[in-house]
Structure 1
Amino acid sequence: MSIMADSIADDVMREQSQLAAIRAPWEAHWQECAQFVLPRQDEFFGARSPGGKRTEKMFDSTAPLALDRFTAAMEGMLVPRTQKWHRLRATDPALNKIPAVIAYFEEATEILFRSRYAPHSNFPNQINETFASLGALGTSAMFLDDMPGKGIYYKSLHLSEIFISEDHRGRVDKVHRKFRYSVRQAVKRWGLDQLPADMQQVYAAEPERKFDFIHCVRPNEERHPARADFKGMEYASYVIVCDSRSLVHGGGYRTMPMPVSRYRTSPREIYGRSPAMEALAAIKMINEMKKTMLRAAHKQVDPPMLIHDDNVISRLRLVPNGLNVGGVDSQGRQMIQPLQTNARLDYGLQMLEAEQRTINDTFLVSLFQILVQTPEMTATEVLERAKEKGWLLAPTMGRQQAELLGPIIERELDLLAANGVLPEMPPELVEARGDYAIEYDSPLNRAQRAEEAAGFFRTIEGLTPLAQLSPEFSKVLAEKFDADAVIDMLVDVNGVPQRLLLSEDKRRAKEQEEQDASELQGILAAAPVVAKTAKDMAAAGAAAGAALA
């Protein structure tokens, strides 16, 4: 190994020690949250055996179920599988009026979604696991890379593998991933010649033996923008074998391949805090309460028995049809009685339900159920609720668009462009250096725009009584609004698929057909009158000619 490679490996290992020290206080917290909320990711202090039980400490399922609903809601509100939840636009508004630019971004968006939801991409299930980590642990990470000949693939990363650092703007710009590979996997990934000598020797005898690796992605401090190789890229990338401190692979990325997202952060913390952390006291309490309730209910259903101490009953038989000799005295009084604890299970249930509501509120479950629980609402009330939901969810989910989805889209476009999959840019866009903006059109964004529709319906509801009193007022009201603009607004807010709408060309053609048909109908209707007039005129002319003769 060269001196430079040794220096890089030592530098990465020093960074790893620093990042591990920063992360250390979080690990016990993550472990506790995972035990009660996301047991399948309970691996922060050593690897656990695959297939083993991980729910030993769980007595109540409220928190895991709330996390499942939270995850489903995040996916449904931000990245619904059946909708195009974002569009691409030029940053310069003037360019968005040029047909060639519009067509380019429409085609690029279409290619993006086809690639993202291709069968081999794994995006839907991996984004779901990423949101689960976000809800339980507060921080999530995903890896995006190119699969030669197939396209982009996505992999949600376990938080135990991730170590991060921020830049001066609070963006995660340095990521270390510590993971384990077997020697066979390492050979397939980087080649036998790239591995240190000790691993090459192990490969022949124990190809499945595992080693620890660190993948470091950090800003390229020695970047030369004019260069086309990895030295001209935005991020430097190094893979190190931990045991031998050996550099296995060095390269770079034009865009961040491991976007990291946080649910909520304190100004002095770089790792995120999750709904599970905020509700951890209630989650732990509800598990203890459930244990107590189970014991109390068990005593009620199968109570302890009180027996008189006279040695008459040698063995108590509580099975059906069991005979207990000496169970009554000579006067017929029971000598065996259940212990009455007078336990108030109803009090326990009330407290349990209160804590369940707290947990559901923290995971936003109650908010997502608003429209489901109150179906008998007017259109205005539905829009008002949607608007409120948009306001309440904007800080939480808006951050995911900035920290997770934005970098994912940037990475996707970079990979697709590198593979020559994107269409050729029109000259106007090339001149603007290809600058683009992401316009999100998810259910969350439409909920935030619901205020416009709600304002329209409030106005109509307020003016309708006046219109009913005065036909003249009704006429003015009907003429006041632009019907096309109102329809376009409601179509946008309610997410009506564009394929259901007539294009402008088809609308004009349809209007022309209707106009032509109307003119033809008028001609046909006038034909008998014209024919009769002609006939009358001909008859009159013939009569006049006869008179002159």
Structure 2
Amino acid sequence: MLRVCPPAREGSQDGAGGRKNDLLFDGTAADAAEQLAASLMAQLTPPWTRWFGLAAGHALTSEEQNALAPILDQAADIVQFNLDRSNFAVEMHQCFLDLVVGGTASLLFEEAGPGEVSAFRFTAVPLADVVLEEGPEGRLDVTFRHCRFTLLPALRKRYPEAVLADDLERQAQDDPDLRVEVIEAVLPENHGYHYAAVLAGDGGGLDTTVLAEGRFQVTPFINFRWLKAPGEVYGRSPVMKALPDIKTANKVVELILKNATIAVTGIWQADDDGVLNPANIKLVPGTIIPKAVGLAGLKPLEAPGRFDISQLVLTDLRARITHALLADQLG
């Protein structure tokens, strides 16, 4: 799905900066997914707009609720101030894209360092770098994240108390571009969450290098799904529902472009007194097919297809894709 909608997203088998849209010919699904993600962003978490509120619980009396109201409103203003000056809008939009395409999204919520513009820092974790599981209470709160660090100082900055092996230090000195891979895990434990970060590739034995370990009251990973089927962990997305139409529309546009190329350059027939081997003939633009001598010389080969019908099919497919991705309802 990540190969057809949208083309710029990283897949689990794609390298960074790889060519992912070489076989993509129709952009209807990618455009509709962008529109749906933008609509979700505008209606659920609009930037620079108060989209949440704080209120006292019903366990308090009316007098206590009225006394706490201005304090909670001031706290909401502080939270909104930090949200507006953080990278929340950018990262949340990426999460909505993952939600629309993959059916599941993961947002990492962390505290920014001292002196930063905002107290919050957000990271949209790609689905290719995270493994999710439901906890004992059925919530999607078991998270395993795969991280990569190119420079050793970046690793030390994130895990300042980590004790690294001497051979890793020597490898980093010999190779400045050494990539260090880390697995972060957040697991529910005793009304809280246990956190651990280990070096990937250590084998998982007793000698595994533990970079950091601790406990959270709430999980820093905000995992959410579009639609959940019984017995499944990951969500189902609108793109999954429209995937047959997306693939068909992509193939129809590919055939239309091939037919247009043949219409421009043509496939030709030429006189030849030799033996014709059909296995050696390729119907590609510019091909010259040999034929018997004396049959009007060089002439173009007529195309048997009528691609005006394909336009009708393509129009119907695009309308169904747009409807499945709610672009005609929320756009």
TM-score range, shorter chain: 0.7 to 0.9
Q: Which amino acid aligns with 1:75?
A: M
Deviation at 1:345, TM superposition (A): 2.1
Deviation at 1:171? 0.6
Establish whether residue 57 from structure 1 lines up as the match of residue 48 from structure 2: no
1:272 aligns with 2:235: yes
Q: How does 1:333-344 map to 2 (within 5 A)?
A: 337-341=299-303, 343-344=305-306
Of the three residues 206, 210, 216, the one matched with 1:247 is: 210
1:41 counterpart SS class = coil
Match of 2:245 among 263, 282, 291: 282
Aligned with residue 238 of structure 1, among 183, 196, 200: 196
Deviation at 1:54, TM superposition (A): 1.8
- Specify whether residues 155 and 285 from structure 1 end up closer, same or farther in structure 2 by C-alpha distance, changes over 3 A only: same
Corresponding residue of 2:277: none
After TM superposition, the structure 1 = structure 2 runs for residues 152-301 of structure 1, keeping only pairs within 5 Å, are 152-182=120-150, 183-191=152-160, 194-221=163-190, 234-244=192-202, 245-301=208-264
The letter of the residue matching 1:81 is P
Contact 1:187 1:195 (C-alpha < 8 Å) held by counterparts: no
Q: Which residue of 1 aligns with 2:92?
A: 127
Say whether the 8 Å CA contact 2:135–2:188 is kept in structure 1.
no
Q: Is the 8 A contact 1:184 1:208 kept in 2?
A: no
Residue among 19, 33, 40 paired with 1:74: 40
Q: Please report how far the alpha carbon of residue 95 of structure 1 lies from its aligned counterpart in structure 2 after TM superposition.
A: 4.8
SS in 2 for 1:104: helix
Once the two structures are superposed, the pairs formed by residues 316-465 of structure 1 within 5 Å of their partners are 337-341=299-303, 343-369=305-331
Q: Which has the higher strand share?
A: 2
Q: Higher helix share goes to which structure?
A: 1
Distance (Å, rounded) in 2 between the aligned partners of 1:184 and 1:300:
59
Deviation track 1:121-156 (CA, whole Å, cap 9, x = no partner) reads: 211110000011111111110111111223111110
Match for 2:323: what amino acid?
A: D
Residue 174 of structure 1: how far off its partner (Å): 1.3
For 1:160, the aligned partner's letter is: A
Identical-residue share of aligned pairs (%):
22
Instruction: Give the aligned partner of residue 205 of structure 2.
Output: none
**Paired AA for residue 122 in structure 1:** N
TM superposition score normalised by structure 1: 0.51
CA distance in 2, matches of 1:356, 1:132: 20
For the residue of structure 2 that corresponds to 1:259, the secondary structure is strand
Q: Which amino acid aligns with 2:188?
A: P
TM-score (norm 2): 0.83
Q: Report the Cα offset of residue 204 of structure 1.
A: 3.0
Shifted more, 197-206 versus 273-282: the winner is: 197-206
1:35-54 map, 5 Å:
35-45=3-13, 48-50=15-17, 52-54=18-20
Q: 1:124 to 1:208 in 2, by over 3 A?
A: same
SS where residue 254 of structure 2 aligns?
Answer: helix
2:263 alignment partner AA: Q
Deviation at 1:159, TM superposition (A): 0.7
**Distance change >3 Å, CA 207–CA 187, structure 1 → 2:** farther
Q: CA deviation at 1:40?
A: 2.7
RMSD (CA atoms): 2.3
Q: What is residue 79 of structure 2 aligned with on the other side?
A: 112
Q: Compute the displacement of 1:302 (Å).
A: 4.0
Distance in 2 separating the partners of 1:274 and 1:235: 28
Structure 1: tracts of 5 or more residues without a match: 1-32, 224-233, 311-333, 370-549
Equivalent position amino acid for 1:362 in 2: A
Aligned residues between the structures:
299
Native 8 Å contact 2:134 2:233 kept in 1:
yes
Q: CA deviation at 1:265?
A: 1.3
Structure whose CA Rg is larger: 1
Offset of 1:96 from its aligned partner?
A: 6.0
Q: Distance in 1 between matches of 2:233 and 2:170?
A: 41
1:462-489 per-position Cα deviation (integer Å, ceiling 9, x unaligned): xxxxxxxxxxxxxxxxxxxxxxxxxxxx
- What's the counterpart of residue 144 of structure 1? 109
- C-alpha contact (below 8 Å) 2:48/2:84 kept by paired residues: no
Within-5 A mapping of 1:472-487:
none
What letter matches 2:81 in structure 1? R
CA contact (8 A) 1:184 1:207 kept: no
SS in structure 1 opposite 2:221? coil
Residue 393 of structure 1 is matched in structure 2 by none
Maintained 8 Å contact 1:130/1:156: yes
Asked if structure 2 preserves the Cα contact closer than 8 Å seen for 1:96 and 1:102, the reply is no
